[in-house]
Amino acid sequence: MNNRNDAKQPRNTKQEMKKILYTLLLLNFFFSANAQKINSYAKSVNEWHKARIADLKTPAGWLNLEGLYWLHKGTNSIGKKEGSDCRYNNASFPAELGSFIYEGDSVLWMNSANNTIKVNGVLVNGVKPVKVFYKDEQAITMSWSHYTWTIIKREDKIGVRFRNVEAKTLVHFKGIDRFPIDSIWRVKASMVAPSQNLLMITNVLGQTTATKTAGKLLFTINNKEYSLDVIDEGGPKFFIVFADETAGKTTYGAGRFIDIPKPDALGNTEIDFNLAYNPPCAFTAFATCPLPPPQNRLKLAIPAGEKNYGNH
């Protein structure tokens, strides 16, 4: 009977250590590269948000609005005097600054005696009427002291959007709370052709407008498919008005906005909910925001992007 030698052969410890070190280096490289990718993505979102805040604080941003006056046909006075058609009750504002004359598709401006304003930066003296609005022409900016205003059109309504560039809402603005950035909310999506070319969008005034649609965006979250109808405003990106189950709780009750890259030739794009932002109506009562259509109210909570702001 032969004796068996069951002893194991000696290990090559140097070779084993090399394998372990190589594996650790690979893991370190993987986690380091992944961390850099995550940090780079977070940095891009933060840079986007920084630019968004800067835009809100510009003279044309949404933080300085202090009035929205709908004009009636004929003469509409503006001033702090009681009984003014467009009354702006502020101690630094004239009792009577002038008048808007709404006739046909045009609005004219007329100074009150001894007052002067600027129209697109040019002083207007005297009481001769100056045309400041006609149909869909480019908006004209009027100003007096640190106040500015423009004429806006919403369907059959013509109004005056009034700004105070020293508004308390601007001076005391401290930023917008956001959910933590999480790449899980950066979702691949595909665009399919719309069943019809127009999407019916209702605004906070109750007006419904037929708006050009780019199509329907399809995407999957937690193995469930969702869709959003997309608006084509003619810019470099497409636009979405949506709401989710955080609306009215941690996010603005009337929904949020998001911009998405235009899809490639195969219809592929992405929707990054970390870039979801509040509509102007979250900051001021003097805006006329679009509301999400029923099909864009997601049965899903999306804790990403901007949180609610203020009480509008």
> Using CA atoms, how far apart are residues 87 and 109, in angstroms rounded to an integer?
16
| Domain residue spans of the chain | 49-56+174-296, 65-166
Q: 269 CB contacts (<8 Å, ≥6 apart)?
A: 189, 190, 191, 217, 260, 261, 262, 263
Point out which residues pair with 203 in neighbouring strands.
290
The answer to whether 260 touches 276, Cβ cutoff 8 Å, is: no
Mean pLDDT for each consecutive 10-residue tract of the chain (312 residues)? 49 69 59 66 96 97 98 98 97 96 96 91 91 90 97 96 97 96 97 93 97 97 97 96 98 98 96 98 96 97 95 61
Assigned CATH topology for domain 65-166 = Tumour Suppressor Smad4 (2.60.200)
Structure tokens at 31: 């986690």
Residue-wise DSSP of 201-257? EEBTTS-EEEEEEEEEEEEEETTEEEEEEEE--SSSEEEEEEB-TTBTTTB-TT-EE
Per-residue confidence (pLDDT) for residue 4, from 0 to 100: 45
Tokens of 108: 């004219």
The pairing of beta strand 74-79 with beta strand 86-87: parallel
The pair of three-digit structure tokens given for residue 133, joined into one six-digit string? 């609005």
Q: How many other β-carbons are positioned within 10 Å of the β-carbon of residue 220? A: 12
pLDDT of residue 187: 97
* Backbone phi, psi, residue 304, to 5°: -145, 155
